[in-house]
Amino acid sequence: MKVTKFLDHTDTVRIGRVESDEIIPLQTTNEFRTLADLLAAEDPIAAVESLNHDSPVPITDQICWLAPIDQQEVWAAGVTYKRSQTARMEESEAAASCYDRVYQADRPEIFFKATPNRVRGHHEALRIRKDAKWNVPEPEVTLVLSPALKIVGLTVGNDMSSRDIEGENPLYLPQAKCYNQCAGLGPVIQLYRELPAVEEIGIDLKIEREGQIVFDQQTSASQMARSFEDLVQWLGRDNDFPNGAFLMTGTGIVPSNDFTLSPSDVVHISISGVGTLSNHIVQG
Ligand code: DO4
Ligand code: MG
């Protein structure tokens, strides 16, 4: 079952259940006022099924999708794929050994990525920092976590990153990662009672420039050096999430070192079973 947030024809924020070609607007109740309330339910799929709904809205280009987030924090894991380890070691002479060690260590790299106001949804703009010269999108399977840190669903995540800032000094990582419009989530949350096997979770990144695809690569979550559950238990150590959380699980696709995003590029990230998140890029 897929759920999202969108603006209806009166510009009201609605929660919707997404079918192949329509969104079914759900009527909230005192128990389930927000999408986060549904995600926190014992059985989110049953909670969505329990709600009455309004007439379906056909999915057209006119739909105004919103990121499927309420008050949750967004966190991210890093260097969870060999490709990310190699790319980071190339970009940062000074910190190469840090990336090598964290790839092999028990404790993963986990960092704070974004507050909800810094997140954008499908078809909204993501941003390159004004002071950055080398930028990439990072296509990441993103775990949707309940307040009890149960993985209740998956969504598509884009962990926008400034490689020159991160590469200059690893202490600059928060600036390379967390700024206005630095994270994309959506277009939907795919709810699961049981997650698919990682071999079934394909990840695809396409970057479009002036109508041409200038970057096109695929990987699979099976290439991850860590399990989703392991990342979640590290995130939850001495850390409470009363509103639930999103956890980006790291990138397995990094364009070669001569590639940087440009303003007006359009980034398309697809995750099997979830959907495709598309965002145009702006700077300044
Ligand atoms: O260590 C820097 C960030 C790593 C990251 O974001 C990733 O591997 O996806
Ligand atoms: Mg990342």
**Torsions phi, psi for 213 (to 5 deg):** -80, 115
Ligand 1 atom having least distance to the Cα of 76: 6
CA of 169 relative to ligand 2 center, distance in Å: 16
Last residue of a domain, one of 23, 40, 66: 66
The reply to whether the predicted model has a pTM over 0.95 is yes
Residues 252 and 163 in one domain: yes
Average pLDDT over residues 29-51: 98
Whether the Cβ atoms of residue 137 and residue 205 lie closer than 8 Å to each other: yes
pLDDT score for 262 = 97
Whether the Cβ atoms of residue 246 and residue 76 lie closer than 8 Å to each other: no
Residues 98 and 139 in one domain: yes
- Number of structural domains found in the chain: 2
Write out the residue range of the structural domain in which residue 33 sits: 2-66
Residues 23 and 48 in one domain: yes
Residues 202 and 117 in one domain: yes
Residues 183 and 273 in one domain: yes
Residues 81 and 31 in one domain: no
Instruction: Give, using CA atoms, the residue closest to atom 4 of ligand 1.
Output: 78
Q: What band does 93 get if pLDDT is binned at 50, 70 and 90?
A: confident
Query: How far apart, in whole angstroms, are the C-alpha atoms of residue 6 and residue 64?
Result: 6
Which CATH number do you get for residue 167? 3.90.850.10
Q: What band does 284 get if pLDDT is binned at 50, 70 and 90?
A: confident
**Torsions phi, psi for 110 (to 5 deg):** -135, 130
Residue 94 has pLDDT above 90, yes or no: no
User: DSSP label at 53?
Assistant: B
The 3-state DSSP class for residue 195 equals coil
Pocket of ligand 1 (CB under 6 A): 76, 78-79, 84, 88, 109, 138, 159, 161, 166, 173, 250-251
For the chain, the residue count is 284
Residues 140 and 174 in one domain: yes
